[in-house]
């Protein structure tokens, strides 16, 4: 029996091609998604191993509920900061080689390339790290030395490569305060690729200063890194790390709120949080794997139905010569298993290739990844199992039919009525209705103030779980419900969708329409593949269009200023640049938005940001949408203007008084004096020692030696005079406090999570160190040629490299282009689901054609032209495809509308349904159908009329 199965498989191989492709695609997504995740994890581990390579870390003991990053998806726990001074305690512990705070800043630096343009990355940050010998074990200097001064920098090899800079070159480095000339003094390499990040080695002092500016944290740090000396300069083993951590813990002073953990633990925590953040990618890929496998399983079912139907006589013969049903079953199933194996194997290869391609593509785009991209044996096994199981499921039913073939073949194929679809209609409708109810519920929670429903328990539920759960449950119910319901919709949909074709092509249109209703389940399954893909894509395109429209809406309705200036490095705008812009001819006013760090209100942070603005903000930049109070007056009078969300959150009303606390950094005169005195004493001691030596040498008659020593002493004095005094300045932070009244509450979407105050109020709380200009709004003087002004502005900010001038349209399109980038990925997924759907339609039609061989022969015999047969099948295919697409569009748009409502407060102000785009999807679906019908129609027509008619 197995031999017969194998022989059949060989004979049928050409028919299996489509099934194999479908299975291979499905499996490739499964394997690819695992493989991709493994690759990313490996990359993360590698980077952790090389970037977070200390043996022991000392960090805070108390987990901090960080309200600054409430919206962050990171699962990384943050702890209280520890005092810098602990370093001294740790240094003295036995076995500690070095203990230090490695300061790094990310996102606020920009390196200027050899050719004078800024180095740009694909989303990876530019990081500045304070490095000197021994601070980073995994980094090796390959050339030159580490940076020692503000105007020196050491480059990571990838940074050197992307900038085209060599040791000795002078270039510009854009600090948050503006560009400065720097010399490349060294190039270093790291063990792992840095995924496209541009890493700059700065002098440790410089990095510390930048870090303090960026974070507003002074004298404190998140953690202290410790290298141990226990393993002859090699990284410590896990046990050694633990022993060292224990010793350090004992040495830490009581009340320091600090604890030492092993480097391994730290790395694991970091890796895990990054992996969690990247975790969403795999399910996304898996959705498409499920679509592909779903289509694959019924392509297989269809293919085997065809084969079984055609070989029925053979099976009957086998049965009549004594084969058991099980044996016949096995002849069919063996073919399926073979097919599954081949398809899965191809899929594993394909999946591996895909990940390889992604890695290649990312490297080309500037994100080199060194993670291992090969699937593990487990991945392969999973892929193989999935493929084979899906194939088995697909083939089981046809195989059963073969096995049950009566020994004397007398099957009349015309009589094979379908099971009624009513039960599915009922179940499906219930599911869809429940799903829609869940969405409505979710929509009401999101949009209605107060109770979303008149029903108490539901409201309690809403309070407890928010919008996420009803949204997800609704989506699940609707998608599955529609798939269940679809067969029942085939007939009415056929009538509606077939109306136009049957008006134009009277006979073929009508035939096509009715043919679809013959196998409602099959038609519905075929359409389902498109349904799911289109639903996802159209939902996301509604969300994307809404996001764009919302930004455009803000600009159109609120933005009054003509230009905005912002920093591409998403950092601060140097004061010099602000001045330069103010000097530009034709500028009426410049409003600066300055962000304040570490501001607390009544002792608590807000889940938003605080900004210092000028009173011209509401008159020249954005018109306020005032809920209560007078925003304009409030800003002028030094009162707070609070965004609606925050006001609601904190329960603030106009007239309330709030105590604000902030931080100012000032020079700690005492400490600085002490540091200078210490340093002077130190230098003095050194000079004295040298002079003494010189005298001794002179006394012993070594005049040359004495002279050398004296020169050395003199040199030390000169050095001391030349030393950068800023390195000796000690700063301290003081807490500032002021009471302010809430003057107005506004609901402009961009201000919802902001608290605005005027500059005077802000300066009471913060200073240059803790307050940065991040955006400028420029109003043009009346009658100024805006295009010329724009050119002048661009010229004015050119020396700062990273500042860009945006006019109103640019302002809109910055958001749009971001959204468009995301959409490109979506379209790739859409294309993929279309390809899979085409397979499905082709296959369904092929089966249908094979079943209708006689009928088509008859149609041909009574005068149906080839074009008419093609037309009939094309209409059938187009209706299937439009049916699936329409279901997808309706569901997807529904989901989009609900999601828009849920995130209405997070910037999706305006609902925009991209009708044009959805129309294109629909047109495309017609095209897809027409395309899919070509091959089956060709097959139908290839069969001579005579054979078709005579085939019994």
Partner 1 sequence: MGRHTAQAVQARREHDDTAREARGTARTTDVRNGVSRARAPREGEAVARAVDLVKTYGAKDTAVVALDHVNVEFMRGQMTAIMGPSGSGKSTLMHCMAGLDTPTSGKVFVEGLEVSAMGQRQLTKLRREQIGFIFQSFNLVPTLSAEENILLPLQIAGKPIDRAWFDHVVHVVGLEQRLTHRPSQLSGGQQQRVACARALMARPSVIFADEPTGNLDSRSSREVLSFLKTSVHEYGQTIVMVTHDPRAASYADRVLVLADGRIVNDMDHPSYERILDVFAADDSDDVDASLADGADAEGGARA
Give the C-alpha distances (Å, rounded to integers) separating 117 from 112, 172, 200, 791, 802: 5, 10, 17, 18, 9
Contacts of 952 (CB under 8 A, 6+ apart): none
Q: Which is nearer to partner 1, 506 or 791 (CB)?
A: 506
Applying CB under 8 A, which of residues 321, 415, 699, 824 lies at the interface with partner 1? 415
Binding range to partner 1, per CB under 8 A, among 463-471, 510-518, 547-555, 754-762 = 510-518
**Helices (H), ranges, 98-202:** 157-163
Q: Which is nearer to partner 1, 400 or 854 (CB)?
A: 854
Are the CB atoms for 489 and 432 separated by under 8 Å?
A: no
**Minimum CB separation from partner 1 for residue 507, in Å?**
4
Binding range to partner 1, per CB under 8 A, among 82-90, 153-161, 454-462, 850-858 = 850-858
Dist CA 375 CA 467 (whole Å)? 38
Applying CB under 8 A, which of residues 865, 915, 923, 938 lies at the interface with partner 1? 865
The reply to whether 515 sits near partner 1 by the rule CB under 8 A is yes
Q: Which is nearer to partner 1, 506 or 674 (CB)?
A: 506
The reply to whether 414 sits near partner 1 by the rule CB under 8 A is yes
**Minimum CB separation from partner 1 for residue 949, in Å?**
6
Could you give the string, one character per residue 920-949, with x where binding to partner 1 holds by CB under 8 A and - elsewhere? ------------------------xxx--x
**Minimum CB separation from partner 1 for residue 385, in Å?**
41
Dist CA 335 CA 20 (whole Å)? 12
Quick one: which of 736, 757, 767, 761 has its CA closest to 662? 736
Could you give the string, one character per residue 827-846, with x where binding to partner 1 holds by CB under 8 A and - elsewhere? --------------------
The reply to whether 312 sits near partner 1 by the rule CB under 8 A is no
Site residues for partner 1, window 200-239 (CB under 8 A)? Answer: none
Dist CA 420 CA 317 (whole Å)? 32
User: For residue 323, what are its two tokens?
Assistant: 């084969």
Quick one: which of 295, 310, 330 has its CA closest to 15? 310
The reply to whether 362 sits near partner 1 by the rule CB under 8 A is no
**Taking each helix axis from N to C terminus, what angle separates 281-310 and 520-557, rounded to the nearest 10 degrees?**
150
The reply to whether 514 sits near partner 1 by the rule CB under 8 A is yes
Applying CB under 8 A, which of residues 404, 785, 866, 915 lies at the interface with partner 1? 866
Applying CB under 8 A, which of residues 448, 507, 681, 685 lies at the interface with partner 1? 507
Are the CB atoms for 778 and 565 separated by under 8 Å?
A: yes
Binding range to partner 1, per CB under 8 A, among 4-12, 834-842, 860-868, 880-888 = 860-868
Dist CA 50 CA 495 (whole Å)? 65
The reply to whether 309 sits near partner 1 by the rule CB under 8 A is no
DSSP 3-state of 97: strand
**Minimum CB separation from partner 1 for residue 524, in Å?**
18
Q: Which is nearer to partner 1, 358 or 945 (CB)?
A: 945
Could you give the string, one character per residue 806-825, with x where binding to partner 1 holds by CB under 8 A and - elsewhere? --------------------
Binding range to partner 1, per CB under 8 A, among 237-245, 315-323, 824-832, 863-871 = 863-871
Dist CA 619 CA 621 (whole Å)? 6
Binding range to partner 1, per CB under 8 A, among 94-102, 520-528, 851-859, 904-912 = 851-859
User: For residue 131, what are its two tokens?
Assistant: 């490095």
**Minimum CB separation from partner 1 for residue 934, in Å?**
17
**Minimum CB separation from partner 1 for residue 844, in Å?**
17
Applying CB under 8 A, which of residues 312, 337, 496, 858 lies at the interface with partner 1? 858
Binding range to partner 1, per CB under 8 A, among 289-297, 368-376, 636-644, 858-866 = 858-866
**Minimum CB separation from partner 1 for residue 860, in Å?**
8
Quick one: which of 533, 488, 491, 498 has its CA closest to 878? 498
**Taking each helix axis from N to C terminus, what angle separates 456-465 and 468-497, rounded to the nearest 10 degrees?**
110
Residues 938-946: contacts with CB within 8 Å, 24+ apart?
939/846, 939/849, 940/849, 940/852, 940/853, 940/856, 940/869, 940/873, 941/866, 941/869, 941/870, 943/853, 943/856, 943/857, 945/857, 945/860, 945/861, 946/857
**Minimum CB separation from partner 1 for residue 499, in Å?**
17
* Bridging pattern class, strands 63-64 and 78-79: antiparallel
* C-alpha 544 chain-centroid distance: 15
Quick one: which of 379, 362, 370, 304 has its CA closest to 336? 304
Q: Which is nearer to partner 1, 506 or 795 (CB)?
A: 506
Applying CB under 8 A, which of residues 313, 419, 506, 798 lies at the interface with partner 1? 506
User: For residue 934, what are its two tokens?
Assistant: 């070509």
**Minimum CB separation from partner 1 for residue 875, in Å?**
13
Backbone angles phi, psi at 184, to 5 degrees: -80, 120
Q: Which is nearer to partner 1, 518 or 764 (CB)?
A: 518
Applying CB under 8 A, which of residues 864, 891, 912, 925 lies at the interface with partner 1? 864
Contacts of 838 (CB under 8 A, 6+ apart): 928, 931, 932
**Minimum CB separation from partner 1 for residue 855, in Å?**
6
Binding range to partner 1, per CB under 8 A, among 392-400, 688-696, 853-861, 924-932 = 853-861
Q: Which is nearer to partner 1, 365 or 946 (CB)?
A: 946
Applying CB under 8 A, which of residues 464, 722, 862, 916 lies at the interface with partner 1? 862
User: For residue 309, what are its two tokens?
Assistant: 């139907």
Applying CB under 8 A, which of residues 110, 859, 880, 895 lies at the interface with partner 1? 859
**Minimum CB separation from partner 1 for residue 943, in Å?**
12
Q: Which is nearer to partner 1, 77 or 506 (CB)?
A: 506
Sheet arrangement for strand 223-228: 96-100, 223-228, 56-60, 258-262
Applying CB under 8 A, which of residues 683, 868, 917, 935 lies at the interface with partner 1? 868
DSSP secondary structure string, 360-429? HHHHHTT----S--SPPHHHHHHHHHHHHHHHHHHHHHHHHHHHT--SS----TT--PPPPSHHHHHHHH
Quick one: which of 770, 773, 729, 772 has its CA closest to 215? 770
**Minimum CB separation from partner 1 for residue 299, in Å?**
24
The reply to whether 916 sits near partner 1 by the rule CB under 8 A is no
Are the CB atoms for 79 and 63 separated by under 8 Å?
A: yes
Dist CA 209 CA 98 (whole Å)? 21
Are the CB atoms for 256 and 60 separated by under 8 Å?
A: no
**Minimum CB separation from partner 1 for residue 527, in Å?**
19
**Minimum CB separation from partner 1 for residue 317, in Å?**
21
Q: Which is nearer to partner 1, 716 or 868 (CB)?
A: 868
Q: Which is nearer to partner 1, 511 or 754 (CB)?
A: 511
Could you give the string, one character per residue 516-545, with x where binding to partner 1 holds by CB under 8 A and - elsewhere? -xx---------------------------
Could you give the string, one character per residue 451-490, with x where binding to partner 1 holds by CB under 8 A and - elsewhere? ----------------------------------------
**Taking each helix axis from N to C terminus, what angle separates 468-497 and 866-902, rounded to the nearest 10 degrees?**
160
* Count of residues touching partner 1 (by CB under 8 A): 27
Q: Which is nearer to partner 1, 464 or 942 (CB)?
A: 942
Quick one: which of 551, 584, 526 has its CA closest to 838? 526
Q: Which is nearer to partner 1, 696 or 865 (CB)?
A: 865
Q: Which stretches of the chain bind partner 1, using CB under 8 A?
A: 414-415, 506-507, 510-511, 514-515, 517-518, 854-855, 858-866, 868, 944-946, 949, 952
């Amino acid at each position: 029996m197995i031999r017969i199965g194998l022989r059949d498989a060989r004979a049928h191989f050409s028919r299996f091609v489509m099934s194999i492709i479908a299975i291979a695609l499905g499996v490739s997504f499964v394997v690819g998604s695992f493989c991709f995740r493994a690759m990313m994890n490996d990359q993360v581990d590698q980077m952790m191993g090389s970037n977070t390579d200390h043996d022991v870390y000392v960090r805070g003991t108390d987990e901090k509920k960080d309200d600054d990053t409430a919206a962050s998806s990171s699962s990384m726990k943050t702890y209280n900061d520890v005092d810098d001074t602990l370093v001294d305690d740790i240094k003295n512990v036995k076995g500690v080689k070095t203990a230090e705070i490695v300061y790094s800043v990310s996102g606020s630096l920009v390196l200027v390339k050899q050719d004078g343009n800024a180095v740009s990355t694909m989303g990876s940050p530019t990081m500045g790290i304070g490095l000197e010998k021994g601070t980073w074990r995994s980094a090796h200097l390959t050339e030159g030395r580490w940076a020692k001064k503000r105007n020196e920098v050491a480059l990571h090899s990838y940074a050197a490569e992307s900038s085209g800079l060599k040791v000795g070159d002078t270039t510009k480095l854009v600090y948050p305060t503006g560009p400065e000339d720097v010399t490349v003094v060294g190039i270093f390499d790291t063990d792992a690729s840095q995924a496209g990040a541009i890493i700059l080695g700065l002098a440790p002092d410089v990095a510390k200063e930048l870090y303090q500016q960026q974070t507003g944290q002074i004298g404190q740090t998140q953690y202290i890194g410790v290298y141990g000396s226990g393993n002859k300069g090699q990284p410590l083993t896990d046990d050694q790390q633990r022993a060292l951590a224990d010793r350090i813990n004992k040495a830490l002073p009581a009340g320091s709120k600090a604890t030492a953990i092993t480097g391994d633990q730290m790395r694991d925590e970091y890796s895990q949080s990054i992996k969690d953040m990247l975790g969403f990618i795999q399910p996304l890929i898996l959705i498409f794997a499920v679509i592909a496998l779903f289509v694959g399983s019924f392509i297989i079912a269809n293919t085997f139905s065809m084969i079984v139907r055609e070989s029925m006589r053979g099976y009957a013969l086998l049965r009549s010569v004594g084969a058991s049903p099980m044996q016949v079953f096995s002849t069919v199933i063996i073919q399926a298993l073979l097919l599954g194996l081949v398809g899965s194997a191809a899929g594993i290869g394909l999946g591996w290739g895909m990940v390889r391609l992604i890695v290649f593509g990312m490297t080309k785009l500037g994100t080199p990844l060194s993670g291992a991209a090969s699937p593990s044996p487990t991945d392969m096994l999973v892929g193989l199992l999935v493929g084979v199981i899906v194939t088995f499921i697909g083939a089981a039913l046809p195989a059963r039919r073969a096995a049950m073939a009566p020994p004397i073949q007398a099957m009349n194929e015309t009589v094979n009525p379908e099971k009624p679809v009513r039960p599915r209609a009922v179940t499906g409708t219930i599911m869809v209705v429940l799903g829609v109810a869940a969405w409505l519920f979710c929509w009401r929670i999101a949009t209605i103030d107060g109770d979303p429903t008149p029903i108490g328990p539901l409201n309690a539920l809403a309070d407890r779980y928010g919008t996420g759960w009803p949204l997800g449950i609704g989506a699940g119910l609707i998608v599955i419900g529609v798939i269940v319901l679809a067969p029942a919709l085939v007939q009415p949909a056929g009538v509606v969708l077939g109306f136009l074709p049957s008006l134009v092509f009277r006979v073929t249109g009508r035939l096509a329409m009715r043919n679809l209703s013959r196998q409602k389940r099959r038609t519905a399954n075929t359409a389902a593949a498109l349904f799911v893909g289109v639903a996802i894509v159209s939902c996301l395109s509604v969300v994307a269009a809404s996001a764009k429209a919302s930004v455009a809406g803000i600009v159109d309705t609120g933005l009054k200023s003509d230009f905005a200036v912002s920093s591409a490095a998403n950092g601060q705008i140097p004061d010099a640049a602000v001045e330069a812009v103010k000097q530009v001819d034709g500028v009426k006013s410049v409003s600066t938005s300055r962000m304040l760090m570490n501001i607390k209100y009544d002792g608590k942070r807000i889940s938003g940001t605080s900004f210092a603005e000028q009173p011209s903000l509401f008159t020249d930049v954005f018109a306020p949408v005032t809920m209560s109070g007078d925003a304009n007056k409030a800003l002028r009078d030094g009162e707070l203007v609070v965004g609606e969300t925050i006001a609601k959150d904190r329960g603030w009303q106009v007239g309330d008084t709030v105590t604000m606390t902030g931080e100012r950094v000032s020079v700690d005169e005492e400490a600085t004096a002490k540091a200078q005195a210490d340093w002077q004493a130190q230098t003095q001691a050194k000079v004295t020692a040298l002079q003494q030596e010189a005298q001794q040498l002179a006394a012993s008659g070594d005049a040359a030696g004495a002279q050398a020593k004296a020169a050395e002493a003199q040199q030390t004095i000169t050095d001391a005079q030349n030393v950068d005094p800023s390195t000796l300045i000690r700063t301290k932070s003081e807490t500032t406090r002021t009471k302010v009244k809430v003057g107005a509450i506004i609901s402009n979407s961009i201000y919802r999570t902001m608290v605005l105050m005027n500059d005077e109020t802000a300066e009471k709380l913060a200073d240059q160190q803790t307050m940065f200009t991040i955006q400028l709004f420029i109003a043009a003087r009346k009658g100024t040629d805006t295009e010329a002004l724009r050119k002048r502005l661009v010229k004015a900010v050119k020396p700062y490299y990273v500042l860009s001038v945006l006019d109103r349209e640019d302002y809109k399109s910055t958001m749009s282009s971001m959204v468009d980038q995301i959409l490109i990925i979506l379209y790739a997924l859409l294309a993929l689901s279309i390809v899979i759907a085409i397979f499905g339609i082709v296959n369904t039609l092929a089966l249908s054609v094979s079943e209708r061989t006689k009928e088509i022969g008859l149609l041909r015999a009574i005068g149906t032209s080839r074009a008419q047969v093609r037309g009939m099948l094309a209409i059938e295919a187009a209706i299937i495809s439009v049916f699936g697409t329409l279901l997808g569009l309706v569901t997807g748009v529904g989901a989009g509308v609900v999601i828009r409502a849920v995130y209405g407060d997070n910037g999706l102000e305006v609902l925009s349904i991209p009708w044009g785009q959805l129309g294109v999807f629909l047109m495309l679906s017609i095209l897809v159908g027409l395309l899919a019908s070509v091959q089956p129609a060709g097959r139908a027509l290839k069969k001579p009329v005579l054979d078709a008619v005579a085939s019994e």
